[in-house]
Every structure is written in structure tokens, then in C-alpha cells.
């Protein structure tokens, strides 16, 4: 093959690979190899280290580019920004300057295409510094998801709100609350609360029930953005669920919602007494990994029966709130938790209840 023909092949490979890479949703690097006839000189000169550019910002999906979702604003005076003169890079090399915004101004746009429903935290990615940024609130429909913090504009990533979204592209609105500039690189969604080794209570099969039909509540406080609420009305009302526990030695727990409306329930696992759950608290709060019992062996389909035993005098209901049925590897068998051990003496200092979450 002649040198001319070889160079034509190399050029074609570079062109095709470059066009293919540009059509993909991610960043790619193309590499080509070439050979010279004996006697040639190596013309390649590497870029000095101090002049090399970083790979750039590549946000983890789901994400949308601000210059794409706000493209209609270009006809109203917005302008595109590139990162050629910067010592850092924008996502896909572009950002958009939407100009000066006034309090009360609104902008509606579509978020990223979500393939799973659930709770998401919404981040706005910006240039590293924005002069006199316009504060804003983020809404979906009439529901406000959050707003910019007081240090907005000093960091290149800011958490603006949390919401529960279905699949597809959510419709979002920016409502500006102060005058200033609006410059955005991209908008990123991150799953807000997803747990491993659990069966979501609202998805667990119902085996038996004595009492009202359970309902599902939606809020970002719960894993998967939902809980199963059994609206028990009196002592003796009961609900039995099923979860498949994998083989092994496990500490079996529940995510329990407590608050003014919740009562007390005894729990039976595979018809054996396991634990008693107190439901009342002054404010609604999810307690993670409330231990019920331990399971060993092949396990498999496991029955969880909850029986209402009454309520605290301060509670205004008998209900049961379940976020999930979960299991954690049994590390220390028959251990006594420090926070539940009997206190006999404190010589110095004090004792406090400090929840550290799952280990």
C-alpha cells in the first residue's frame, strides 16, 4: 500500500469515528495509527503538560444541557458560552447566559428523561463563579421543590430542590426571586433515597388483613418515595405481608414511620413473636433499620404480621407506617446494643441517644 493510500485510509477512519462519537450521548476519544516508509521523520510533538486541558465536566446521567433546554431564549437575547478561554470545561463544552432576570420572571423547561419513578435531588451546574446571580425557586406544577441557598453563585454545583417524579421528562419552572444574572451549564438529577437489600413495603404481597385497606403515601422521606400505611382503627386490627429473604444469616428489620397518628404494634415473623413497635412521636420521622429478629438458613418467602396493641395516650390514631422490610448481614450474634443496655453508673460526662444509621 502506498503512503498516499495509507493516509487516505487513516483520514477516512478519523472522519467516521469522529462523526460516530459526536452522535453518541457520551464523550469519546478516537485513536489512529499510521506507518511511514523507511527514512521518514517523526513529526509528532506532544502538547506540553502545562498546556494540556482536562477531560472536562461529564455529569452522571440523568442530566440535561442548559443550552439545549433553554435554547428558545437565544432568540430573546440569551447567548451561548464556551470554555475555550477557561482553565476548566463545561459539560459538552457549552453553557448559556440567560441575561438579567427580575423577581417574578419565570422560565419553563423539561428535565432529563427518567426511566425510574421516585425521589430525586435536583442540582444546577454552573460556571465556577457567577457575578450577581439571580436567586430562584424550582417548581413542578404549583409545588415548590426548593430554592437556591444563600451562597448561590460561589460554587459550580448547587442543590436546589428535592421532588418525587414519574418516568419521562418532568416539566419544571424557574421562578426568580431576586434581580441578577442567570448562567447555567446543565441540570442534573440524582436519586434521593434508594436502599439495598429491602423489599419496599408498598410492593410486598398482602397475605391477610383484619381492618381497613392499606394506602400508599408519597414523600421523599421514604425509600422509593412511598410508604405503606395501614390505617388501623382499633386494637386487634392486623396486616400480614410477605417478603422473600435470600439464604444466609440476617438481622431482619423494618423502616418504620412514627408520628402523632401512629399506634403500637406487635410483630410476628413466620408466626413467631419478634418485636413490639411504638408508633407515637411528636413529629413525623422515619426510623431506619428497626430490628425485628434474626433469620438463618435458606429463608425464602417470609411472613410478617403486624397486630395493633393500642396507642400512646398522646397519639390521635392507631395506624402503622412501613417504609420497607429489610435485611442486613448478621455480624455479631445475640449482641446487646449499647443504646439499649441497662445504665448502671456514669462517673464522668453524660449519655445521649445518637442515631448513626445502618452499619
Residues 202 and 327 in one domain: yes
Q: Which residues of the chain have pLDDT under 70?
A: 1-36, 49-56, 332-359
Residue 114: inside a domain: yes
pLDDT for res 4: 52
Q: Which three cell numbers stand for residue 17?
A: 469515528
* Domain-located, residue 56: no
Per the structure, the count of domains in the chain is: 3
DSSP state of 313: T
Judge if 67 and 187 occupy the same domain: yes
Q: Is the same domain home to 210 and 325? A: yes
Which of the listed residues 158, 175, 191 is the one where a domain comes to its end? Answer: 191
Q: What is the rounded CA–CA span in Å between residue 245 and residue 25?
A: 38
3-state secondary structure of 258: strand
Q: Which three cell numbers stand for residue 66?
A: 442548559
> Do 306 and 203 belong together in one domain?
yes
CATH number at residue 151: 2.60.120.260
Rg for the chain, CA atoms, rounded: 29
The H-or-E segment that residue 230 falls in is strand 226-230
**pLDDT of res. 272:** 97
Same domain, 242 and 311: yes
Strands of the sheet with 94-101, listed across from one edge: 79-82, 94-101, 180-184
**Could you tell me if 311 and 186 lie in one domain?**
no
What pLDDT digit, counting tens, does each position of 124-179 carry? 999 988 889 999 999 999 999 999 998 898 889 999 988 889 999 999 999 999 99
Domain of residue 28, residue span: 3-39
**Do 247 and 170 reside in the same domain of the chain?**
no
What is the pLDDT at residue 22? 47
Domain shared by 94 and 180, yes or no: yes
77 with 168, same domain: the answer is yes
Q: What is the reported pTM? A: 0.58
Residue 317 lies in a domain: yes
Cα(111)–Cα(39) distance, integer angstroms: 57
Residue 332 near residue 275 (C-beta atoms within 8 A): no
From 165, 191, 217, the end of a domain falls on 191
Amino acid at each position: 500500500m502506498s503512503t498516499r493510500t495509507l493516509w487516505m485510509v487513516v483520514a477516512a477512519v478519523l472522519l467516521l469515528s469522529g462523526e460516530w462519537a459526536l452522535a453518541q450521548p457520551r464523550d469519546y476519544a478516537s485513536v489512529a495509527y499510521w506507518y511511514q516508509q523507511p527514512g521518514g521523520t517523526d513529526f509528532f510533538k506532544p502538547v506540553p503538560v502545562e498546556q494540556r486541558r482536562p477531560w472536562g465536566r461529564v455529569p452522571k446521567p440523568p442530566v440535561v444541557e442548559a443550552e439545549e433546554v433553554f435554547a428558545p431564549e437565544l432568540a430573546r437575547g440569551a447567548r451561548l458560552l464556551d470554555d475555550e478561554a477557561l482553565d476548566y470545561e463545561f459539560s459538552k463544552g457549552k453553557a448559556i447566559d440567560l441575561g438579567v432576570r427580575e423577581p417574578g420572571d419565570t422560565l419553563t423547561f423539561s428535565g432529563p428523561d427518567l426511566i425510574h419513578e421516585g425521589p430525586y435531588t435536583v442540582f444546577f451546574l454552573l460556571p465556577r463563579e457567577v457575578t450577581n446571580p439571580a436567586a430562584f425557586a424550582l417548581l413542578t406544577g404549583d409545588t415548590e421543590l426548593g430554592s437556591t441557598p444563600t451562597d448561590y453563585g460561589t460554587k459550580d454545583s448547587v442543590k436546589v430542590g428535592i421532588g418525587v417524579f414519574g418516568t419521562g421528562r418532568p416539566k419544571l419552572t424557574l421562578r426568580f426571586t431576586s434581580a441578577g444574572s442567570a448562567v447555567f451549564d446543565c441540570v442534573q438529577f440524582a436519586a434521593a433515597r434508594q436502599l439495598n437489600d429491602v423489599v419496599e413495603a408498598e410492593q410486598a404481597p398482602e397475605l391477610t388483613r383484619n381492618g381497613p385497606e392499606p394506602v400508599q403515601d408519597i414523600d421523599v422521606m421514604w425509600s422509593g418515595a412511598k410508604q405503606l400505611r395501614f390505617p388501623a382503627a382499633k386494637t386487634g386490627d392486623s396486616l400480614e405481608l410477605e417478603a422473600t429473604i435470600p439464604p444466609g444469616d440476617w438481622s431482619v428489620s423494618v423502616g418504620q414511620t412514627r408520628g402523632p397518628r401512629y399506634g403500637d404494634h406487635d410483630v410476628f415473623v413466620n408466626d413467631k413473636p419478634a418485636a413490639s413497635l411504638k408508633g407515637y412521636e411528636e413529629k413525623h420521622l422515619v426510623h431506619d433499620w428497626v430490628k425485628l429478629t434474626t433469620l438463618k438458613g435458606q429463608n425464602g418467602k417470609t411472613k410478617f404480621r403486624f397486630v395493633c396493641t393500642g396507642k400512646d395516650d398522646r397519639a390521635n390514631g392507631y395506624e402503622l407506617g412501613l417504609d420497607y422490610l429489610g435485611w442486613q448481614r448478621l455480624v455479631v450474634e445475640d449482641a446487646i446494643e449499647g443504646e439499649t443496655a441497662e445504665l448502671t453508673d456514669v462517673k464522668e460526662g453524660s449519655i445521649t441517644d445518637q442515631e448513626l444509621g445502618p452499619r
